[in-house]
Amino acid sequence: MSARPVVLLTGASGVVGQSLLREVGEVELLAATRGPVEPGRAARVVRCDVSLPLLGLEPPAYRALAAEVDVVVHSAGLTEWGRPDEEYVPVNIEGTRRVAEFAELAGAPVHFMSTAFVAALLPGAGGTLSETNVTAPYVRSKLLAERVLADSGVPHTVFRPTNLIGDSLTGWTSRGQIVQLISDWICRGRAPFIPVHEGNRIDVVPQDLLSKAVLRAIEGGVTSGEFWVTYGPEAMDMAQSLRICAEHAAARGRRLAPVPVIDPDDERARDLSGLPQLTRTYLSVLRDVSEVTRAGGGVLPTSMPELRDSFGVPKIADTDAYLRTLRFASGR
Ligand SMILES: NC(=O)c1ccc[n+]([C@@H]2O[C@H](COP(=O)([O-])OP(=O)(O)OC[C@H]3O[C@@H](n4cnc5c(N)ncnc54)[C@H](OP(=O)(O)O)[C@@H]3O)[C@@H](O)[C@H]2O)c1
């Protein structure tokens, strides 16, 4: 590998890809995408569709790319929750198989973006997911993708981030996600209650912490390991996160009345009839995320101490980063 490794980044137009493109330093990054992408600090944009044979490239272009690439960051994925299992197969599972084949030809290690929610499905998980859990097909597909990579024999790492929020210092994100949407709804006083299992941590991580960890891993030549990009026992609890929402609302001249926190299995939390559609949707997403977190142990596994020690990931309080994310989202 050259002093400045050439890194192929799949999913360059996504939230993680865009964050990586802002953080990139000592590597030459090729931004792989199907459609338009904000190139940021990318050396070049490469058209790639991981659901197609040879990533959608002509054989000579595929071979030339493999000859050029030293490292692959595989971040492309179908990330929307609530689709049936089979819809995740072409991109999340078969796409990962194609990326592994490409990496083998290139002789390149893969850094794979999985999800911390796989903790709910690993042996020893603390509970089961209900048939209707909106995240389950997505999470299953990510775990299967991890297995595809393991079976491929290609050297690889697995990064397992929890739900990501904006940049740790500015709150910036290329696109608002479920955490921002639901937080905004709570801050506007729209949540009649919050369904969360007792003892669950509200584990969200600034996106640049993931990007920094991945880039340091590449620069350090790391080619194996599983890294839980979570706060684990340091993560805020529901009361802390609601206090931050109240602080954010107050700064905008709104008083957020105390929101009851209810066990998702409680009768009151199960009957959503009569509530507006958006309220029903958000409450049921919160309930399902709580179920995944509880099945993952309530407090997600974490590699944060190792990421700080070995990869120089900065020590940022999640509560501060969450408040910055709320401010950034409000300013949009
Ligand atoms: N964001 C989070 O909170 C979070 C948390 C845990 C794990 N993750 C994992 O991190 C990875 C990146 O997440 P994200 O938030 O950046 O996702 P995202 O914003 O939804 O972006 C998904 C990316 O995948 C690309 N993609 C989809 N289908 C593709 C295909 N057939 N071929 C090539 N590229 C394709 C998209 O490209 P187009 O623009 O062409 O559609 C886009 O760049 C995912 O694998 C996800 O599972 C994310």
- What's the pLDDT at 268? 86
Task: Pick the residue whose CA is nearest to atom 8 on ligand 1.
Answer: 115
SS3 state of residue 262: strand
Q: Which amino acid is at 92?
A: N
Residue ID of nearest Cα to ligand 1 atom 7: 115
The second-level CATH assignment, the architecture, of 6-170+203-233+299-315 is: 3-Layer(aba) Sandwich (3.40)
Structure tokens belonging to residue 113: 């973006």
Q: CA-CA distance, 165 to 276, in Å (whole number)? A: 26
Q: Decide if 92 contacts 26 (C-beta within 8 A).
A: no
Could you give the residue ranges of the DSSP H alpha helices within the chain? 15-23, 59-68, 85-88, 94-106, 136-152, 178-187, 207-219, 238-251, 267-270, 277-295, 304-311, 318-331
What does the angle CA 147 – CA 153 – CA 157 come to, to the nearest 5 degrees?
65
Position of tokens 């880039």? 215
DSSP state of 123: T
Please write the tens of the pLDDT for every residue from 117-137. 999 999 888 778 999 999 999
CB-ligand 1 contact for 35 (6 Å cutoff): yes
Which atom of ligand 1 is the closest one to the Cα of 17?
A: 16
Q: Are the CB atoms for 233 and 38 separated by under 8 Å?
A: no
Compute the mean pLDDT over every residue in the chain, rounded to the nearest whole number. Answer: 95
Q: Is 187 in the pocket of ligand 1 (CB under 6 A)?
A: no
Tell me the two tokens of residue 151: 């079976």
- Whole-angstrom Cα distance, residue 75 to residue 61? 21
Per the CB < 8 A criterion, the answer to whether 176 and 185 are in contact is no
Residue 58 · residue 73 · CB < 8 Å: no
Q: Looking at ligand 1, which residue's alpha carbon is closest to its atom 18? A: 14
Q: Whose CA is nearest to atom 27 of ligand 1?
A: 77
For residue 160, what are the β-bridge partners?
A: 228
Half-sphere exposure of 212 (CA within 13 A, CB side): 19
Four-residue CA torsion sign, 165, 170, 174, 175 = positive
Q: What is the largest CA-CA distance in the chain?
A: 62
Contacts of 324 (CB under 8 A, 6+ apart): 166, 167, 168, 169, 170, 171
For a mutational test of ligand 1's pocket, the pick from 37, 75, 97, 285, i.e. the residue with the most ligand atoms closer than 8 A to its C-beta, is: 75
Measured from the Cα of 36, ligand 1's closest atom is: 39
Q: How far is the CA of 273 from the centre of ligand 1 (A)?
A: 34
Compute φ and ψ for 160, nearest 5 degrees.
-120, 85
Task: Please state, for a pLDDT cut of 90, what percent of the chain lies above it.
Answer: 89
Q: Which segments in the chain show pLDDT lower than 50? A: none
pLDDT reported for residue 40: 82
Q: What is the CA radius of gyration of the chain?
A: 20
Residue count (the chain) = 332
Half-sphere exposure of 96 (CA within 13 A, CB side): 28
